[in-house]
Every structure is written in structure tokens, then in C-alpha cells.
A = this chain, B = another copy of it.
Amino acid sequence: MAKSKYEYVKQFEKDDSLIPNTWLVIRLDGHGFHKFSDRHQFEKPNDHRALDLMNKCAEAVMIEIHDIILAYGQSDEYSFILKKESNLFNRRSAKIVSTIVSLFTSNYVFHWKTYFPDKELQYPPSFDGRAVQYPSNNNLRDYLSWRQADCHINNLYNTCFWALVHSGKTENEAENALRGTISSDKNELLHSSFDINYNNLPEMYRKGSVLIRKEANLMTLNQKGVEVIRKKKVVTTSHVDIIHDKFWKENPELNVSV
């Protein structure tokens, strides 16, 4: 069979491996999730089940890809941090990005019915992804701060917007009411008009979700059938500040000291 005659076409594949010793960030974003959330009547401004499902998918990705040390998610996006030393797929960019996006997507459809037992999935959703390299711990910290600051800004805005809409305004009127306001204006609006203390809203909405691996005590039976405690790293989810130093000091095993 004239296989060899065609094999030269493999030479057109370029090496897209990322340089060693940089933090790799893989960020994925929902594709057309405005429409997707409408079609599935997600609650506004935040749908708890939809966010839980996102977190479940991120956890599944972390369980599969051991080199991910931290994942951060908000809204319809998720960032996965691969450790500097990672040699996953020889650091080939397309392979890393496509595998993580595929795993995430697959889990999203697979686990949908668990999080939305009363709501049929109307059509298959999709995500896109990209890889970014960060040379220093400071750069990585600033990347994560950027995403968490973005989460806060968007959530404060959306909380106001949907409070106005739910109170009877049109979407246009709500938009106009918020134009030019700063954070303190929005906090005040929530407080005075809707009796909402923004800081009492669920932390998942205000801070997003942070997944890391922590050592946990697992109860198992040994060979003699006696209960024993075994230490194991498990993926844990929390909704904490990752902009300030506290989180990083409490989790020194992440090796992101600055």
C-alpha cells in the first residue's frame, strides 16, 4: 500500500510546545452561553446549579490531569494552572488545550442530569480554550487576581442589573440606571432599593470557585478488615479570596510564594 508516498504530509505539523519552567494557564470559556443560559432558563444573576456543574467539571479535569495545581472558575469560564515543571504531553499547546477543553465539555454533558434533574439538556454546549505562559509567580498571581477582580466587577453589576429587572424595569432601563456608576453607587443601590447587603451574598457568586488539592483523612479498611485512616490528596473547592497573600500563605505547597 502506497502509505509512505503520503506520509510527507506529517512534516506540515509544527511543534507548538511551550517553553519549560513557566506556569501554564489554560482558560476555557463557554461558547454562546448567553443563548445557552436563556434556553435552559438559568436563574439570574447566578444559577447555583449551573455553577455547581461547572465546578464538578473542573474537579473531574483535575482528577484526570495531575499536573494541575489549581483551578479558578467564575461564570462560564474556568482557568487551570499547570505547575511550572509540568511535562504534560511534552508541553504541546494544542494537545494540552484541546484535551482539557474536551474533558471539561464531556463532563458537562455527562453530569448535566445530576445538576438539572428536572431540565432536559436542549442541545450540546461547547467551550473554547487557550494557553498562556507566565514566567514568574508574580505574573501568575496577577493573572488570578485579574480573573477574580473581573468576577467581582461583573457580579456586582449583574446583581444590580437583575435586581432592577426583577423589580419591573426593562433591561434597557436597568442598563441606563447603571451607566457610569461606581462600586460604591452599586452597593448603595442594592442596600437602599432592595435591602441587599452585597457582602452577605454567597461567596461563590462574589469570589468564584477555587479548586486545589488538599491532604484529607480517608477512612478505609485494611487487609484484616480493620478501619484505618489513610492520608490522600483530594480536590477541594472553596470560594475564597486569592488576590491577597492570606490564601497563598495558607497553601505553601502550591509553591507560588512571591
Contact = CB atoms under 8 A, between A and B. Distances in A.
A48 interface: no
- Could you say how many copies of this chain the assembly holds? 4
A134 B12 contact: yes
Contact of A98 (B9, B11, B17, B130): B130
Interface residues of A, number: 67
A19 B9 contact: no
Contacts of A5: 142, 145
Contacts of A21: 12, 134-136, 139
A189 interface: no
B135 A1 contact: no
A103 B132 contact: no
Interface stretch (A119-127, A196-204, A250-258): A119-127
A12 B12 CA distance: 17
Contacts of A142: 5-6, 8-9
A7 to B, nearest CB: 6
A89 B14 CA distance: 16
Contact of A149 (B1, B129, B134): B1
- Majority secondary structure, A binding face: helix
Given A6-B146, A97-B97, A183 B1 contact: yes
Contacts of A149: 1-3, 6
Contact of A19 (B12, B103, B128): B12
A132 B13 contact: yes
A94 B127 CA distance: 12
A102 B31 contact: yes
Interface stretch (A107-115, A172-180, A209-217): A107-115
Contacts of A9: 132, 134, 139, 142-143, 146
6 contacts: A3-B149, A11-B20, A94-B128, A101-B101, A135-B135, A135-B136
Given A3-B146, A98-B128, 13 more contacts: A1-B153, A1-B183, A3-B153, A9-B143, A12-B19, A22-B22, A84-B135, A98-B101, A99-B126, A101-B101, A105-B105, A106-B106, A135-B136
